[in-house]
C-alpha cells in the first residue's frame, strides 16, 4: 500500500484537499463495491499539518488532521493542495513546511501540487530549473517571484522528474487520476475515473485563461507599452514603433519586456488580441472574418491558426464550447 501525505494549512482550499483524499482513499474501493468485488484499497492517506493542529479552510470549515509534520518522515507521495487564502500570508506562516518538503523529496517521495500550491514548492526551491504550472491567473505573480522556474501556465498538468503540478480550479481531479495510473496502472485509474464520473481531459489550461489582471513589476517603460497595447491592439505596429514610443532601441525593449513579463512585446500583443477575440466569441460574435479584422488581423486563416495555437481550440470550437447560441460562419 502506498503512503500519501496531504498537506493541510490555514487558508487551504477545502475541496482541493478533501477531494484528493477521497479519490486516493477510494481507489480500488468504489468501483469494486459497485461491481460486488472484494475491496482492493491501494493507498493509505494521511492529512498532515504543522504541529498536528486543526486547520481552517478558506470556506470557514475547521478540519482535523491525522498527524504533525514531525510524525511523518517518509512517504511515497506528498500532495500540496490549493492555497485559497492570501498567498503572502500563507507562504509566511508555512515556512516550517519548506524543509519538511525538501526532506521528503530527498528521501525519494514524489511531490505534486494543485493550482497555487505550486507557490509552496517554489518557495522551498524544489522547482528551480524545472518545468511547472500554476493557476493561469497567478502566473505573472509566480514568474515575478520565482524567475528560476520554467513556468508553463498553458499546461493543465506538468511533470518534471518526480514533481507534478496541476493548473487551476478542479485540475486536482485530473492530477489524481494521473497519479493513480502512475502507481496502480491504467486499468485502476480508468475504473476510478468511471466510478466518480470524471471526464479526464487533455485540454490546455489556456482554454480557460485570460490575461492577468495585475502587473507585478515597476518598469515604467514596459508599463507604458502594455497600456498602449491594451488601448490600440487593433492597430498594426512593429517592434521598432513600440520601442520608439519609450525611447529605447528595439533590442533594449525586447530584452526589458521579456525579462519583466516573460515574453516579448509582440507576443504579448498577440495574447491581448486573442483575449479580445475570446470575449467576442463568448458574447456571441458569429462572423469569423469580421472578428479577425476587429482584433487586428486581415487574414482569417492566419488568425484561426494563431487562435488555436494559443487556446488549443479553433475559433468555431471555442465558440461552441463557451457560447450557448449560434454558429460561426466565414
Whichever domain contains 232, its CATH number is 1.10.10.60
What is the share, in percent, of the chain residues with pLDDT greater than 70? 92
Q: Are residues 179 and 235 in the same domain?
A: no
Q: Are residues 21 and 54 in the same domain?
A: yes
State the first-to-last Cα distance of the chain, in angstroms, to the nearest integer: 56
Q: What is the pLDDT of residues 63-92, one digit of tens each?
A: 999 999 999 999 999 999 999 999 999 999
Q: Are residues 136 and 194 in the same domain?
A: yes
Q: Are residues 244 and 112 in the same domain?
A: no
What is 239-250 written as a DSSP string? Answer: HHHHHHHTT--H
Q: Are residues 60 and 88 in the same domain?
A: yes
Q: Are residues 184 and 283 in the same domain?
A: no
66 found inside a domain = yes
Q: Are residues 180 and 316 in the same domain?
A: no
Among residues 141, 172, 207, the one where a domain terminates is: 207
Confidence of residue 326 (pLDDT cuts 50, 70, 90): very low
CATH of the domain at 164: 3.40.50.880
Q: Are residues 315 and 173 in the same domain?
A: no
Buried b / exposed e across 210-246, counting CB within 10 Å, b at 16+? Answer: ebbeebebebebbeebbebbeeebeeebebeebbeeb
Q: How many domains does the chain have?
A: 2
Among residues 155, 183, 207, the one where a domain terminates is: 207
* Residue among 14, 32, 10 nearest 22 (CA): 14
292 found inside a domain = yes
- Could you list the residue range(s) of the whole structural domain that residue 311 is in? 220-322
232 found inside a domain = yes
Q: Are residues 106 and 180 in the same domain?
A: yes
What would the mean pLDDT of 104-127 be, rounded to a whole number? 96
* Full-model pTM: 0.69
pLDDT (0 to 100) of residue 330: 47
Q: What is the pLDDT of residues 240-291, one digit of tens each?
A: 999 999 999 999 999 999 888 878 999 999 988 988 888 888 887 778 999 9
Q: Are residues 36 and 123 in the same domain?
A: yes
45 found inside a domain = yes
**Separation between Cα atoms, residue 251 and residue 51, nearest integer Å:** 52
Among residues 150, 181, 207, the one where a domain terminates is: 207
213 found inside a domain = no
242 found inside a domain = yes
Asked if 8 and 17 count as a contact pair (C-beta separation under 8 A), the reply is yes
DSSP state of 63: E
Q: Are residues 227 and 202 in the same domain?
A: no
Buried b / exposed e across 2-18, counting CB within 10 Å, b at 16+? Answer: bebbbbbbbbbbbbbbb
Q: Are residues 84 and 123 in the same domain?
A: yes
Amino acid at each position: 500500500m502506498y503512503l500519501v501525505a496531504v498537506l493541510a494549512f490555514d487558508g487551504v482550499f477545502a475541496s482541493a484537499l478533501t477531494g484528493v483524499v477521497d479519490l486516493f482513499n477510494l481507489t480500488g474501493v468504489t468501483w469494486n463495491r459497485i461491481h460486488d468485488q472484494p475491496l482492493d484499497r491501494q493507498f493509505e492517506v494521511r492529512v498532515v499539518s504543522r504541529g498536528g493542529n486543526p486547520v481552517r479552510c478558506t470556506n470557514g470549515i475547521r478540519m482535523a488532521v491525522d498527524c504533525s509534520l514531525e510524525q511523518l518522515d517518509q512517504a511515497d507521495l506528498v500532495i500540496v493542495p490549493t492555497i485559497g487564502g492570501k498567498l503572502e500570508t500563507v507562504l509566511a506562516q508555512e515556512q516550517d513546511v519548506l524543509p519538511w518538503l525538501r526532506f521528503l523529496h530527498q528521501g525519494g517521495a514524489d511531490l505534486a501540487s494543485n493550482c497555487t500550491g505550486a507557490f509552496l514548492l517554489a518557495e522551498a526551491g524544489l522547482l528551480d530549473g524545472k518545468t511547472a504550472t500554476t493557476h493561469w491567473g497567478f502566473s505573472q505573480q509566480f514568474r515575478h517571484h520565482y524567475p528560476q522556474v520554467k513556468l508553463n501556465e498553458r499546461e493543465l498538468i506538468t511533470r518534471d522528474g518526480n514533481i507534478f503540478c496541476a493548473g487551476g480550479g478542479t485540475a486536482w481531479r485530473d492530477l489524481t487520476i494521473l497519479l493513480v495510473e502512475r502507481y496502480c496502472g491504467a486499468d485502476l485509474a480508468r475504473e476510478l475515473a468511471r466510478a466518480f464520473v470524471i471526464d479526464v481531459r487533455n485540454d490546455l489550461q489556456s482554454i480557460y485563461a485570460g490575461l492577468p489582471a495585475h502587473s507585478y513589476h515597476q518598469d515604467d517603460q514596459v508599463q507604458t507599452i502594455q497600456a498602449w497595447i491594451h488601448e490600440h491592439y487593433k492597430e498594426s505596429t512593429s517592434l521598432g514603433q513600440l520601442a520608439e514610443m519609450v525611447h529605447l532601441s528595439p533590442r533594449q525593449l525586447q530584452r526589458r519586456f521579456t525579462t519583466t513579463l516573460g515574453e516579448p512585446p509582440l507576443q504579448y500583443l498577440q495574447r491581448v488580441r486573442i483575449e479580445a477575440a475570446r470575449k467576442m466569441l463568448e458574447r456571441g460574435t458569429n462572423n469569423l472574418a469580421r472578428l479577425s479584422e476587429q482584433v487586428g488581423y486581415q487574414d482569417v486563416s492566419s488568425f484561426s491558426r494563431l487562435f488555436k495555437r494559443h487556446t488549443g481550440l479553433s475559433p468555431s470550437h471555442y465558440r461552441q464550447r463557451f457560447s450557448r447560441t449560434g454558429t460561426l460562419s466565414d
